Amino acid sequence: MNDIEPCIMTLKTSQTLNDQCKKCGKNFLVGETISMYQYEFYHPDCFRCGNCKKLIVSQGFFRQEDGCLYCLNCHIDNGPHCIICKEPFLTGEILSQFDGKQFHNTCFLCNICQQPIEMKKFCCQNGNI
């Protein structure tokens, strides 16, 4: 999966849709422009960042676990981050978890050989992995 969610489709309706806008719950009118993302429909004005409220139609965005959409800047500033490198986790990225902390797989390294631990067995000694 890509780091940033794939582009949405924007199209004009030729008939009344049974679907409602995922954000505002209102119906779509014939000839109205709609945005579709993962089989969910939005009014273009409703397709906004859940944090800063800016339109995210023309830029990359992320869907957080809570289902809310965030623009790239808000995701970087407010999204979950790796405990080691402090960089945000990207959509579809495989993570490692240990002791309630999250790591990029490439950051979760053995303290001695500096190789990624991934799914290998490991032990913790004096706070080191």
**What would the pLDDT profile of 59-82 be if each residue is shown by its tens digit?**
677 777 777 888 888 877 777 788
Phi, psi of 96 (to 5 degrees): -110, 145
Residue-level pLDDT at 24: 92
Structure tokens at 38: 């993962």
Phi, psi of 44 (to 5 degrees): -55, -35
Residue-level pLDDT at 4: 44
Rounded Cα–Cα distance for residues 101 and 111 (Å)? 16
Residue-level pLDDT at 82: 86
Other CB atoms within a 10 A radius of the CB of residue 97 amount to: 10
Could you tell me how far CA 89 lies from the centroid of its own chain? Answer: 8
What structural domains and CATH numbers belong to the chain? 9-78 (2.10.110.10), 80-129 (2.10.110.10)
Global pTM value: 0.55
Segments of the chain with pLDDT less than 50: 1-6
